[in-house]
């Protein structure tokens, strides 16, 4: 682990945000200018197809505290965040989105809450600005994660976070290709707080998370960080077995007591389809776990950095 040599690191994953990066960096720098101690801003280009990396390179030439990481391809938001976090050198780390929906000016509020004795603080939104259907899906997904992952704080999880750098020890060097940052952070501490922050409508661009991708991401993270789907598959198998016993008892009872055979191809076909479906479902769940174990054993990386620009702050640096 790199030694902490600045007070604060701001990590921002970048995807299709070439137009908003100059304003974002200027506003973040404006906040950091008012905070004590040296600091850094790390922009992680997550394989963005637009000119985001060129903009980052241009900004790094005129902003001394700015660093840029260019990933080999699109690894997803959490993979990009992990790359920036493990490259950071701040004693405190903040993650923000690149769309300015959560203003950088909210960072001091996160810091004030963290100083109350927490290790991890989320900036929760008083009101979501994604639309009714997307908001409802977000609430449902957070509730699901809190139940399945066994972490009550999951209901407060957002992309706006501040945490102590010591939490990196919970996952550094032990992360495979499927990354869910919030689960990793919750492995390291139970001292988790939250504070209400401003959440504005997206001014430009389009979110990379459609409803389908949100659901797929949630399912993937639950499988990666929880054994609950295996338990559900086991319960379904148990119910199917009990149903099969009841059906068998009915057929044998009809034959032995009434001397008749239960007629009907439809009955037989429906029974076969039911139990075949249950078997395929259980095998599918087990296959997902085995596939992820295989990828982990094969050493598939969470991210690969193509290039890096900007100079990391040194221990003796003053604030730029």
Cα–Cα distance, 223 to 106 (Å, whole number): 33
Backbone φ and ψ of 100, nearest 5°? 65, 15
Q: How confident is the model at residue 25 (pLDDT cuts 50, 70, 90)?
A: very high
Predicted confidence (pLDDT) at residue 64 exceeds the cutoff of 90: no
Average pLDDT over every residue of 58-65: 89
DSSP assignment of 25-84, as one string? HHHHHHHHTTSSS-EEEEEEE-S-SSSHHHHHHHHHTT-TTEEEEEESS---HHHHHHHH
Q: How far is C-alpha 231 from the chain's CA centre?
A: 23
CB atoms within 10 A of CB 178: 18
Q: Is the per-residue pLDDT at 173 higher than 80?
A: no
Q: Is the pLDDT score of 43 beyond 90?
A: yes
Mean pLDDT of the chain: 80
pLDDT > 90: percent of the chain: 36
Give dist(CA 189, CA 53) in Å, integer. 34
Q: Given this model, what pLDDT does residue 298 score?
A: 74
Position 225 scores a pLDDT of 63
Please give the model's pTM, rounded to 2 decimal places: 0.75
The mean pLDDT value for 131-138 works out to: 57
- Name the pLDDT band for 151 (thresholds 50, 70, 90): low
Residue 319 pLDDT more than 50? no
* Spatial contact of 182 and 109, defined as CB atoms under 8 Å apart: no
Q: What would the pLDDT profile of 200-243 be if each residue is shown by its tens digit? A: 765 555 555 566 666 666 666 666 666 777 778 888 888 888 88
pLDDT classification of 318: cutoffs 50, 70, 90: very low
Secondary structure (3-state) at 13: strand
Q: Is the confidence at residue 23, as pLDDT, over 80? A: yes
Tell me the pLDDT tens digit for each residue of 292-315: 777 777 777 889 999 999 876 664
More confident residue, 24 or 171: 24
Pair 28, 14: CB distance under 8 Å: no
pLDDT band for position 317 (cuts 50, 70, 90): very low
If you average pLDDT over residues 265-289, what whole number do you get? Answer: 78
pLDDT (average), residues 156-171: 85
pLDDT of residue 5: 72
């Amino acid at each position: 682990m790199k030694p902490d040599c600045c007070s604060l690191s701001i990590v921002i994953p970048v995807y299709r945000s070439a137009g908003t990066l100059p304003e974002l960096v200027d506003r973040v720098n404006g906040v950091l200018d008012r905070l004590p101690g040296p600091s850094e801003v790390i922009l992680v280009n997550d394989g963005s197809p637009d000119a985001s990396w060129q903009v980052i390179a241009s900004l790094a030439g005129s902003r001394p505290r700015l660093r840029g990481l260019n990933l080999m391809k699109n690894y997803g938001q959490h993979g990009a965040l992990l790359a920036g976090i493990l490259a950071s050198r701040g004693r405190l780390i903040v993650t923000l989105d690149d769309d300015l929906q959560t203003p950088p000016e909210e960072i001091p509020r996160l810091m004030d809450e963290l100083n109350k004795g927490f290790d991890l603080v989320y900036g929760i939104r008083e009101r979501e600005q994604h639309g009714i259907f997307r908001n409802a899906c977000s609430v449902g997904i957070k509730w699901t994660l809190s139940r399945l992952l066994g972490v009550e704080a999951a209901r407060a999880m957002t992309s706006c976070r501040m945490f102590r750098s010591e939490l990196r020890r919970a996952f550094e060097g032990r992360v495979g290709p499927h990354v869910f940052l919030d689960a990793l952070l919750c492995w390291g501490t139970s001292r988790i707080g939250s504070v209400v922050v401003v959440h504005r409508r997206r001014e430009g661009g389009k979110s990379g998370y459609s409803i389908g991708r949100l659901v797929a991401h949630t399912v993937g993270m639950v499988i990666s960080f929880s054994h609950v789907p295996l338990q559900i598959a086991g319960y379904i198998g148990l119910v199917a077995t009990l149903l099969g016993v009841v059906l068998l008892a009915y057929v044998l009872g009809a034959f032995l007591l009434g001397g008749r055979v239960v007629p009907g191809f439809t009955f037989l076909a429906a029974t076969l389809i039911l139990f075949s479906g249950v078997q395929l479902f259980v095998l599918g769940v087990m296959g997902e776990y085995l596939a992820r174990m295989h990828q982990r054993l094969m050493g598939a990386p969470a991210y690969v950095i193509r290039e890096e620009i900007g100079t990391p702050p040194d221990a003796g640096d003053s604030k730029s």
